Amino acid sequence: MKALDALASRGSDRRRQQAMKALDALAVAERHIRALGTARADRGHSDD
């Protein structure tokens, strides 16, 4: 049973790591989107 528990926990850790990688990618995308919006807003103000 201990061997099965070890395998199960390894799979759980792997899924957790994959989920964290996906969330990291979403966080980076959000920062990029905000930066683009800020750059566009700054460019719009320079025309005044």
| 1-48: pLDDT as tens digits | 666 676 566 678 888 899 999 999 999 999 999 999 998 888 886 554
- Per the rule left: phi > 0, alpha: psi between -120 and 50, beta: everything else, 29 is alpha
- Provide the whole-model pTM: 0.52
Give the pLDDT score at 4: 63
Give the pLDDT score at 8: 63
Give the pLDDT score at 6: 65
Give the pLDDT score at 7: 56
Question: Measured between alpha carbons, how far is residue 13 from residues 8, 9, 24, 27 in Å?
Answer: 9, 6, 16, 21
* Measured distance between the N- and C-terminal CA atoms of the chain, rounded to whole angstroms: 71
